Amino acid sequence: MDTQIIQFQNHADDRGSLIVAEYEKEIPFLVKRIYYIYDVSDDKHRGFHSHKDLLQVYIAIHGSLKVMLDDGKKQETVLLDNPAKGLYIGHNVWREIFDFSKDAVLLVLASEKFSESDYIRKYNDFLESIKKTIPNT
Ligand code: TYD
């Protein structure tokens, strides 16, 4: 699966903590857009899509949440519960985000500007798109 956990260095001292996300060190793409999601109640699920070209890094900069990742063959769930932990999500990955703690803030770094046409929002279309891009699946 085209995903990876990113461990950020925490420059912590007696003044507090500072975490850096820098291109080519922790982030493998130039960031053209950021957005953040918060105030999500614990019974709500978000996401339910994949992207054609977009690359992203998710960081729970406060609180915790879970991300279910699916490449059409297998699924795994990642807990993001630390601002020093990032989740890179590459190509051909369906994602669902859930179990937000009350105080959760999900920061998303994105490689492209917003484009609705880059979204695949139906799971069956996602499976079809994988068959086209990855033969023998
Ligand atoms: P949506 O894709 O439903 O969020 P999620 O993937 O977390 O379930 O996005 C919610 C709304 O915000 C939708 O109307 C599209 C809009 N939006 C933008 O205008 N720009 C953006 O960069 C993003 C991520 C969403």
Cβ–ligand 1 distance for 112 under 6 Å, the answer: no
In this prediction, residue 135 has a pLDDT band, given cuts at 50, 70 and 90, of low
Cβ–ligand 1 distance for 36 under 6 Å, the answer: no
Task: Supply the pTM of this predicted model.
Answer: 0.95
pLDDT reading at 39 higher than 70: yes
47 Cα–ligand 1 center, Å: 9
46 Cα–ligand 1 center, Å: 10
Domain map of the chain by residue range? 3-11+26-133
The contacts of residue 51 (CB under 8 Å, 6+ apart) are 91, 118, 119, 120
Q: Which of 1.20.58.110, 2.40.50.140, 1.10.10.10, 2.60.120.10 would CATH assign to domain 3-11+26-133?
A: 2.60.120.10
Determine the Cα angle at 86 with ends 83 and 88, to 5°: 160
The residue contributing the CA closest to ligand 1 atom 6 is 47
Closest CA relative to residue 66, chosen from 81, 49, 56, 82: 81
In this prediction, residue 132 has a pLDDT band, given cuts at 50, 70 and 90, of confident
